[in-house]
Each structure stands twice: as C-alpha cells, then as structure tokens.
Chain A
Amino acid sequence: MSGVYRYDGSFSGLLTVMARLLPQRTVPDAIGIDPPQQQSLFCEAIDVATDERLVEQFWPELIARLTPGCLHRIRQVFLADYPERELLICRYLLLAWEKGRGVAGMLAHPQVAPLWKLAQQVGHEAHRYLGFVRFQEVNGGFYYSAIAPDHRILPLIASHFAARFSDQQWVIHDQNHGEGIVYDLRQRHWLLLPMERHAKPDLTPDEEHFQQLWRSYFTTLAIDERQNLRLQQGKVPLKVRPWLVEFG
C-alpha cells in the first residue's frame, strides 16, 4: 500500500507512522509534515495522529531489532534538514524488519548507505558545533549564543553544554530553524523551545573586553610562514563565520 502520509513532525509522530506501516511491508510515496502531493488527483494525504500508546508498544520491538548505534543514526537522520529523511528511515526499518540486527553491518546496502551518509553529516555538524558555539554575556545575567546550522542539531549538543556550563544560565539559539535550548540554572536542566528567528542581545561591558582579547589572541596565533587559507576555509566555512567572534 503506497500513499502519502502526513504527521505532526515529532519523533513520536514518525514512530506512529512507522508502527502502522511496517507490518504491511511497503514503502509509501512520501511522508512529511507537509508532504508533496502525488500526480494523481485522487490521491489524498493520509493524516496520522500521534499515538503515544502505540509508540510505547512499538518501542520494545524497535530496540529488539536495532542496535543502539543504529537507533542513534535514526535519531540523527530524523534531525536532518533533508526532505526525504522520513523515507530513508522507513526504508531502513523495513530492511531491519527483514534482516534483523545484521543491518548494523550492511553499510554498502542501498537501503542503508544513504541513511548512514546523512546521519554522518548530522553527527559531524553536531560535533563541530560543540566548538563553534560562542556565548556572549548579556545584561540580565545570562550567556547567549546564536547559530545557524544546516541540521537541527540542538538536541544532540544540549547535554554537552549542560554538563559543561552548569553554573551559568545560557541559551543556544538556532536561527535557521527558529528554536533554542534554554538552560535553567536552578532546575539544572534544559528545554528545547520555539524561538523567533532574530534576536539582538544587550551585551555587558565585560563582554566587549573579552571579545577584543580573544580576537587579538586569535590573530597572534597564526604562523605567517605557514599560511593556508584554503585549509582554514575547509574547517571554518564562510557561512559559520558571522557567528564567530574571532572572524568578526
């Protein structure tokens, strides 16, 4: 049974779709929050409402059939900013249902390779942002960071910053996807919240001082005899530079 499926964009929502589709062993034409319509005039998108109870039943089956590493990839791909991410997950799960945990090693299989590649891109970007986040001290006693990643990496990096900066109040704002992580110092936990795409923080005097120090330190570090701007650009792409103090 092919078709076009619409869900609410949550991970539980997608798992609900999967729990309904997998027993039938078919790949739909499209799954999405706003899926593209098929050529046929008579083909309507089927709305799938998120069903937490069904997800709860489905979950043990999922972890029985996938290694923790594979589950992690699926989560990464779910966070990818890629139009066919749901289909990639669907095809992958279908194969896992056929072959069992062996899929973990089937890296060259056409139903696996593209998912791995995309997962790797997401993972790679998330890792890079562990370094690329730049906090600015804002009046009102917290640290603010704006980023614009390709993928929705916030849930993948939040715990790293929560463990590291647990004695300061902070926000990481993904201006590309209009969401942010807010760390609550008193409760010692973080929340992912929708946020406006733009924000203009009101910086403390100390902040300006440290930014200047950092800029001058950064320029001093380079060894002129070894200049290699192409390499630098590979590591720090132009698109991330507006958010990095040292390139300001």
Chain B
Amino acid sequence: MAVATEMMDKLKILAEGAKYDVSCSSSGSFRRNKDGIGNAASCGICHTWTSDGRCVSLLKVLMTNSCIFDCAYCVNRRSNDVQRVLLTPAEVAELTIGFYRRNYIEGLFLSTGVVRSPDYTMELLIEAVRTLREQYRFNGYIHLKLVPGADPLLVQQAGLLADRVSVNLELPTREGLALLAPDKSRDAVIGPMRQVNSLITINRAERKESRKVARFAPAGQSTQLIVGATKETDRQIVTLSEQLYQRMELKRVYYSAFIPVVADTRLPALPNSPLRREHRLYQADWLLRYYGFSAQELLDEERPNLETDLDPKTGWALRHLELFPVEINGADYEVLLRIPGIGVRSAQRIVRARRQGHLSMDDLAKLGVVLKRARYFITARGRYAGECAIDSTLLRSRLLETPAKKGAAQLELPFSRPQASDEAISLISGEL
C-alpha cells in the first residue's frame, strides 16, 4: 500500500509539471498492432475532458521534475524550492500500459526536466519508450520531448521509437530566450529541430524505395511557444510560425498563453486577457495551415497585432470588402474558404451539394452552414441576406464578438474540440 501512495504522489507531482504543455494531439500517425497491444489511429481520439475543458488523450507526464537549468517561467527550475521526484523508465512503461489497457488514454506524452546532462536525460526517456515498444510490444501513440542540446545520435533513436517528437521553442525570439531561459541557446533548440526535419525527409524517401525501412517520427514534429511572457507582437509570432511550417515542415505550433507560476522580476505581471490572445493566434495559425492565407495578409507593420474582438478572417474580409459578396454557387473552393464563418467542412459541403443544383440560402442552412457571419459576405442565387448592406458602416459592429460572460477565462480552448474524423477538418480549433 505504501508503494501505491508513493506512486500516487509521484504521478501527481509529475503530471502537475507537464500539464501546461499544451500539445494534445495524438493524430497523424498510423501504427498497426501486430501481436502486441495498441495501435495509433490516424485521427485523434479524446478520452475525457478536464474541468478546464481540455481534452485528455495522452498520459502527459514528466519523467522527473528535477532540473539543472533555471528558466524564469518554469516551476521545475533549479532555484525553485519544490519536492523533486523521478519515475524510473520501468515505472513509466508500467503506468502507460495499465492506463492503456483500460482505455483511459491513446498513448504517452513524455517530457522531463534536465537531470545531470541533456544526454543522460535523453537516454532515460529513450529507455522508457524502448521498454514500451520492445517489452510490452506497445504500438500506441508516443510523443517524446527532445532535450535541447542532446546528442544527434540520441535524437535519431528517439525518432525511431516515437510517433512524434518535439523541442519547445518556448520564446519567439533569441532575445526572449536569452532573457528568460539563459541555459538554453537558440541553437540547442533549433539544432535538433533541423536534424529531425532532415531525418524525416530522408526517411520518407527511403520508405518510397522500400517499405521495410522503419518509420522515423511518422507523426512529424511540433513545438510550443509561450505567448505574452516577452514583448513580441502577433506579427512576429505568426511570421515565425509560417516559417516553421514552411522551412521546418512542422506539423503543429502550439501557443500557450503565459500564466505566471513562479515569481520572477524578469516576468511581466499577468497581461490582459492572455487567453483571448492565445485563441486569436490559434485562429491565425489555422488560416495559415488550411485556408491558404499568408502571415503578411493577416498582419503587417501598421497593424502588428490581431484584433481581440474580431476573428482574423473576419478582420481580413472587412479590409477587403471589394472582394465581397461572393456568389455561393459560382465561387471556387479557395474563395469559399475565405468567407468569414465558412469553414473547411462547410466549403466542402457546398461544393458537393451545388453539383446537384443551385443552392438557395435555405439550402445552405439545411447543409448545416452557419450563416451568422457568412450572410453578410455572400449571395445565393443572386440573393443577399445580410441585414445591412455590405458597404454599411453598421457591418463592423454587427460582426463584433461579444465577450463571453465570465471574461476571457470562459473562452473555449482551441485544443479542446473533438477530433472527429480527420485532424485537418475537425480539430476545429480555429475553424472560421
């Protein structure tokens, strides 16, 4: 029994340390179960939701909360006086399997503080994952954190065992990093990221030649940015993300509104509505990845920050009224996607349904297209259904979002939406 409570305490502390890491996706990988346990479904599956509305699909835990580094924003930093605990690789594996067999989780997300050295820490993580894959024949989803500064050989081993790997960028600029995470250099973070990107590319080519080649990080890599702890503008952040998607082929960039968990003079007091800003960034990110927008279109030097009371697509449309209204029966798919309020799924439905005949406003409603914002920007069979004309000065005020009753904390978090079929269309985080 003593063992059981000890385990309980450790798990509590180590889950506490990992819970701010926002990445939750378990999608994008496909692993078949051969004579073992588990598989990775290519669409994510949420298993439950916490009282803050975030979905739980992975056992998200730190291997240890000990750390030799001293990052200003982190509870686990060396100079913070907290109880330190460590799970052995065998314990991590046992816990994962016990939870998985009961269908509590979709897989494991393993992160850690840095003990002894980046290499030593990386070896511990790899041993846990190796135990799962080889001893338990576990084929479920595994997301492994790479420790900044770890040896390239270890990075490679990690990618061969995990479905997804990630190094957290944490702060959008070199200066921010130097200020708040003095032990981590930008290069120690970017180095592994670059290496993983090239290994994925090579692996893809090799697997074209022969299916026997083992997969390397089949679900790609992601990263996380803390927003609001330093002074970067949204423009800097969105442009950085665009580059990460284009140059490093990242699968996801996660944004985490800064929440002070430790006192430090280098940190700002809690900024105004950080969650709303986070939400807008996810929406902008969504526009980059699935709607064909560029960072430049969304933000420029004159307007370096996203509007808080309008979603970025509506904001863009209001600056480009000359392109609207769009006739729903004639517009190309790419144009449909640019209509405020019309998401990927609605656009696909419209394209499909109109092959069978011209759609009216009523038809749109029947298709499940939400017309609340869209009606101001479209015509259907030539008919316009906005309550005020598109060139009216009223339009903007009609489109403003009334803030949720209890303030920004009530905002729906972007990663809490269901992942019904395909991540591309249904992790609806920013679907606009």
- A-B pair count, CB < 8 Å, reads 165
A232, B53: Cβ atoms under 8 Å?
yes
Q: Are B104 and A164 in contact (CB under 8 A)?
A: no
Question: Which of A16-24, A77-85, A219-227 forms part of the interface with chain B?
Answer: A219-227
Of residues 171 through 225 on chain A, the ones whose CB sits less than 8 Å from some CB of chain B are: 206, 209-210, 212-214, 216-218, 220-225
A164-B37, A218-B50, A221-B15 known; A108 vs B20 contact (CB < 8 Å): no
A105 to B367 alpha-carbon distance, docked (Å):
11
Is B366's CB under 8 angstroms from A108's CB? yes
Contact with A along B38-51 (1 / 0, CB 8 A): 11010001111111
Query: Is A238 among interface residues, defined by CB-CB distance under 8 A?
Result: no
Decide yes or no whether A33 CB sits under 8 A from chain B.
no
B208 at the interface (CB under 8 A from A): no
Q: Are B49 and A235 in contact (CB under 8 A)?
A: yes
* Cα separation A107 to B353 with both chains bound (whole Å): 6
- Bound CA span A35–B412, Å: 44
Tell me the bound Cα distance from A235 to B428 in angstroms: 14
Shortest beta-carbon distance, A44 to chain B, in Å? 37
- The answer to whether B45 touches A225 (Cβ under 8 A) is no
Contacting residues, chain B, for A210 (C-beta < 8 A): 98-99, 102
Neighbouring B residues of A223 by C-beta, 8 Å? 19-20, 50, 52, 54, 259
Q: Which residue of A107, A127, A226, A235 is within 8 Å of B55 (Cβ)?
A: A235
CB within 8 A of A218: which of B48, B55, B355? Answer: B48
Contact B53 A231 (CB under 8 A): yes
Given contacts A221-B50, A226-B52, contact A143 B416 (CB under 8 A): no
Query: Within 8 Å CB of A143, what residues of B?
Result: 101-102
Q: Does B103 contact A (CB under 8 A)?
A: yes
Instruction: Count chain A CB atoms within 10 A of each CB in B16, B46, B51, B275 and give the residue with the most.
Output: B51
A33 to chain B, nearest CB (A): 31
Q: Which residues of A contact B33 (CB under 8 A)?
A: 163-164, 166
Chain B interface, number of residues (Cβ within 8 angstroms): 62
Encoded as 1 (CB less than 8 Å from any A CB) or 0, chain B from 2 to 17 comes to: 0010011001100110
Cβ-based interface call for A229 (8 A): yes
Instruction: State how many residues of chain A have any CB contact under 8 Å with chain B.
Output: 55
Using a CB-CB cutoff of 8 Å, which residues 347-402 of chain B contact chain A?
349, 352-353, 355-356, 359, 362-363, 366-367
Contact yes or no, A164 B39, CB < 8 A = yes
> Is the pair A167, B48 in contact by a Cβ cutoff of 8 Å?
no
Q: Is the CB of B412 within 8 A of A228?
A: yes
Q: Is B60 an interface residue (CB 8 A)?
A: yes
Nearest Cβ on chain A to B415's Cβ, whole angstroms: 12
Q: Is the interface of A mostly helix, strand, loop or mixed?
A: helix
Task: Determine whether the beta carbon of B19 is less than 8 Å from that of A226.
Answer: no
Q: Is B409 an interface residue (CB 8 A)?
A: yes
Is the beta-carbon distance between A222 and B356 smaller than 8 angstroms? no
Tell me whether A227 and B356 are in contact (CB under 8 A): no
For A86, list chain B residues within 8 Å (CB).
none
B109 to chain A, nearest CB (A): 12
A222 touching B51, Cβ below 8 Å: yes
B53 and A216: CB pair below 8 A? no
Are B52 and A222 closer than 8 Å at their CB atoms? Answer: yes
Is B12 touching A167 in the complex (CB atoms < 8 A)?
no
B214 at the interface (CB under 8 A from A): no
Q: Quick check: B52 and A228 within 8 Å, CB to CB?
A: yes
**Which single member of B48, B275, B362 contacts A131 (CB below 8 Å)?**
B48
Q: Does A106 touch B at the CB level, under 8 Å?
A: yes
Q: Do A105 and B355 have beta carbons less than 8 Å apart?
A: yes
* Given A131-B47, A228-B51, A212 contacting B101 (CB threshold 8 A): no
CB of A178 to closest CB in B, whole Å: 22
Least Cβ–Cβ distance between B374 and chain A, in angstroms:
16
Please tell me if the beta carbons of B409 and A105 are within 8 angstroms of each other in the complex: no
With contacts A131-B47, A223-B259, A228-B410 known, is A209 near B38, CB below 8 A? no
Contact B366 A221 (CB under 8 A): no
Q: Which residues of B contact A212 (CB under 8 A)?
A: 4, 8
* Cα–Cα distance between A246 and B20 once the two chains are bound (Å): 20
Indicate if B121 sits at the interface (CB-CB under 8 A).
no
Interface string of A71-103 (1 = CB under 8 A from B): 000000000000000000000000000000010
A168 within 8 A of B: yes
- Is A133 on the interface with B (CB-CB < 8 A)? yes
Q: Which one of A128, A220, A236 contacts B16 once the chains associate, using CB atoms below 8 Å?
A: A220
Residue pairs across A and B with Cβ atoms less than 8 A apart, 16 shown, are: A108-B353, A127-B418, A130-B45, A165-B37, A168-B37, A213-B8, A217-B12, A220-B16, A223-B52, A226-B275, A227-B51, A227-B52, A228-B51, A228-B410, A232-B52, A235-B46
Contacts A163-B33, A245-B102 given; 13 further ones with Cβ under 8 A?
A105-B353, A107-B366, A131-B57, A164-B140, A166-B33, A220-B16, A221-B19, A221-B60, A222-B51, A230-B410, A235-B418, A246-B48, A246-B104
10 tightest Cβ-Cβ pairs between the two chains A and B:
A231-B53, A226-B52, A228-B53, A108-B363, A235-B49, A131-B47, A108-B366, A222-B50, A222-B51, A220-B15
User: What residues make up the interface of B, taking CB atoms closer than 8 Å to A?
Assistant: 4, 7-8, 11-12, 15-16, 19-20, 32-33, 35-39, 41, 45-57, 59-60, 95, 98-99, 101-104, 106, 137, 140, 259, 275, 349, 352-353, 355-356, 359, 362-363, 366-367, 409-410, 412-413, 416, 418, 420-421
